[in-house]
Chains A and B, each alone.
Chain A
Amino acid sequence: MKKDSRLLSDDQIARRISLEIKDGSYVNLGAGAIPFMVSQFCPVPTMFHIELGILGAGKVAQGADADQDLIGIGRRPILAVPGASCSSSAEAFAMLRGKHFDMAILGALQVSEKGDLANWLRPKFVPQVGGAMDIAPNVGKLLIAMDHVTKYGEPKIVKNCNLPITARKVVKLIFTDMAVIEVTENGLLLKEVAPGFSVEEVQRATEPELKVSDRLCEIRCE
């Protein structure tokens, strides 16, 4: 099925997410293309952390600057920014679990209307939890970057996750290729819609009922 050309690209979602980051934040990047891209686009000074044990992950390293000992989760070589530091895995996770981070950006298979996250076990596949269970409950603000629906057109934002849970009531903001949605105590709040999409279309692609923000606007990616 041909992809709807109105859907935001990973690039665009990453740019939008980077606008959430305040100057001087400490942000953990989960696995996946979009979290990494956020670090490439982020317009404000930020200490990006990667669970391999680098605080101060920078731009992709090119050519002679590429160092096999300094890589991101996707195994791409990166540079370290001035002021960076390295640690072992136990120390990296002590930093995460110890609630020292302002924000983390993770991917998801499903997010529930209460902010439950499922992102480690697909049906009939191999368990792959990585650092998500350690990270998700322990950051100041958890941001999720994902497609709005599965490749079969099923909603990924659901009333209750039917896939194995990573952590409960942890997600604060959801960024998809169609919308920006906030998880609040009173339910899901639709805040922004991708250009060309209507509120009704976004609602049809979402299982729980969305409240619409009275300041609803188009997603801006710059």
Chain B
Amino acid sequence: MNKVFSSSKEAIEDVFDGATIMFGGWGITGNPENLCRVLLEKGTKDIVAISNTPGTLFKGVTRDLGMLVEAKRVKKVYASYHGWNDHFIKQYLAGEIEYECVPQGTLAERIRAAGAGIGGFYTTTGVGTLLGEGKEVKIINGIEHILELPLSADFAFVKAYMGDKEGNLVYRYTAQNFNPEMATAAKVTIAEVENLVEIGEIDPNLVRTPGIYVDRIVKGEYYEKRL
């Protein structure tokens, strides 16, 4: 099975209006910026986005999901905070975009649960707060917990430092963040990598995301150095 795509544009060809898409990345690091760029060009709209933030503005410019938010292509965001994204904040306060605020650890674990076949899990995070309201409660060892359910997507856009043609991925430092769990939790996982290598070139001991999770892999066309 050939997982390799020769361009980001081809890799996202079947992404549809209204799709639920996970976007890896945290701040300026680990963002699938090429996939975001071509998705913006494609014109896909009514996206339901799952990411740590709705995109980061850095020196006034966004190179991630934020591009899509700015262009009003995103209908709803699941995120742990607003990322100081002015476009998102403005749309939210005007009632133009839906926002489900999820504690970051719960967000990561809901995504992990989806990829790992876990039907639901109990956590103390958010108990007694607005974000815990309406959720099923269970007392475990005398402590109140709330039930959280898995969060999956139609597509996951992940970014890695290196990948081989089997789809095995290696990450660097904090660019890892949400990428490994998101890679497991979508119907179609598309990985963009800085370095695409032949099968056998990555030491199995160093593989962080096994290729079983990755459906499509593409060498990112352009990476902007933000620092």
Contacts and interface: CB of A to CB of B under 8 A. Distances in A.
B29 A69 contact: yes
Nearest to A133: B103
Interface stretch (A121-129, A175-183, A200-208, A211-219): A121-129
B80 A130 contact: yes
A88 B126 contact: no
Interface residues of B, number: 51
B178 A69 contact: no
A75 interface: yes
A80 B112 CA distance: 26
A70 B129 CA distance: 32
B105 to A, nearest CB: 3
Interface string A43-63: 000000011111000000000
A75 B29 CA distance: 9
B124 interface: yes
A69 B129 contact: no
Contact of B101 (A88, A127, A135): A127
B103 A131 contact: yes
A38 interface: no
B99 A126 contact: yes
Given A71-B28, A127-B101, A134-B105, A90 B173 contact: no
B49 interface: no
Q: How large is the interface on A (under 10, 10 to 19, 20 to 34, 35 or more residues)?
A: 35 or more
Contact of A129 (B92, B103, B173): B103
Per DSSP, chain A at the interface is loop
Contacts of B206: none
B105 A69 contact: no
B128 A168 contact: yes
Contacts of A134: 103-106, 125
Contact of B174 (A54, A137, A168): A54
A28 to B, nearest CB: 11
Contacts of B173: 53-54, 67, 69-70, 80, 86
B207 to A, nearest CB: 14
Given A69-B172, A71-B29, A71-B174, A89 B81 contact: no
Interface in B176-227: 176-181, 208, 225-227
B96 to A, nearest CB: 13
B111 A90 contact: yes
A51 B26 CA distance: 10
A51 B104 contact: yes
A92 B92 CA distance: 29
A69 B30 contact: yes
Interface stretch (A8-16, A101-109, A148-156, A159-167): A159-167
Given A54-B173, A88-B177, A68 B28 contact: yes
B129 A130 contact: no
B176 A75 contact: no
A68 B225 contact: yes
Contacts of A66: 227
Contacts of A130: 80-81, 103-104
20 contacts: A51-B104, A53-B173, A53-B177, A68-B28, A69-B161, A77-B227, A86-B173, A86-B176, A88-B180, A90-B109, A129-B103, A130-B80, A130-B81, A131-B80, A131-B103, A131-B105, A133-B131, A134-B103, A135-B105, A168-B128
- Sort A-B residue pairs by CB-CB distance and give the 6 closest, nearest first: A93-B105, A134-B105, A127-B101, A128-B81, A69-B175, A90-B108
Given A75-B28, A90-B111, A127-B99, 20 more contacts: A51-B104, A53-B174, A66-B227, A67-B172, A77-B227, A86-B171, A88-B108, A89-B52, A89-B177, A90-B108, A124-B93, A126-B82, A130-B103, A132-B103, A133-B126, A134-B105, A137-B124, A138-B124, A164-B129, A167-B128
